[in-house]
A and B are shown apart, each in its own frame.
Chain A
Amino acid sequence: SQQGEEDPQALSIQEGENATMNCSYKTSINNLQWYRQNSGRGLVHLILIRSNEREKHSGRLRVTLDTSKKSSSLLITASRAADTASYFCATDSLSNYKLTFGKGTLLTVNP
């Protein structure tokens, strides 16, 4: 079953604009990770945020986590055509030894 739900399902923006994707989940989590997937390829890890953290930055990426609302957001600033991909959030919880993924957001950055 899917734990996370990304919103929106698809997002189309122009190069240079910011892109925000949201993820909601249902049960308590230990960590939340964001991944990128280019068409037909594997998942590339972007950022991990722990349940006791509220915000993390990595380059042009900013992730927030609100455990009271069971939601997270991924912001990509100054987007580039190369950012075109599907983005997934994945959660894990103590002792179930797995990631549970949402259905992903397809981001298209137009040059």
Chain B
Amino acid sequence: KAGVTQTPRYLIKTRGQQVTLSCSPISGHRSVSWYQQTPGQGLQFLFEYFSETQRNKGNFPGRFSGRQFSNSRSEMNVSTLELGDSALYLCASSLDVISGNTIYFGEGSWLTVV
């Protein structure tokens, strides 16, 4: 069974640009979450979607947004990029993030903002 797939794996953007990252969850998983990982802040929760509904959002500015499609695939978007947005962005999927289900992560998308 295929794991969580994230694209692109690496990208470089310029300050002020916007970026869209994509995540395909494990087949049958309806919950998709996004996390940002930086050396200074560690792993920080961005948002979680279940059946196209955002159920929780982390403490990030409105420049960070996401959505989930009817096939459970998800995208996150960061507009007006800042240098501090450089990070590893990780997508996670599960049957449901509560109820004791294992949460699986993808390999991540490395974003560098210059």
Contact = CB atoms under 8 A, between A and B. Distances in A.
Nearest to A95: B98
A42 B108 contact: yes
Name the interface size band of chain B.
20 to 34
Interface string A12-47: 000000000000000000110101000011111100
B48 interface: yes
A99 B104 CA distance: 11
A42 B102 CA distance: 15
Contacts of A95: 98
Given A30-B100, A92-B98, A97 B48 contact: yes
Contacts, number: 64
Given A48-B100, A103-B42, A42 B58 contact: no
Contacts of B106: 42
Interface of B: 4, 6, 31, 33, 35, 42-43, 45, 48, 50, 55-56, 58, 88, 90, 92, 97-98, 100, 102-108, 110
Interface of A: 2, 30-31, 33, 35, 40-45, 48, 50, 88, 90, 92, 94-104
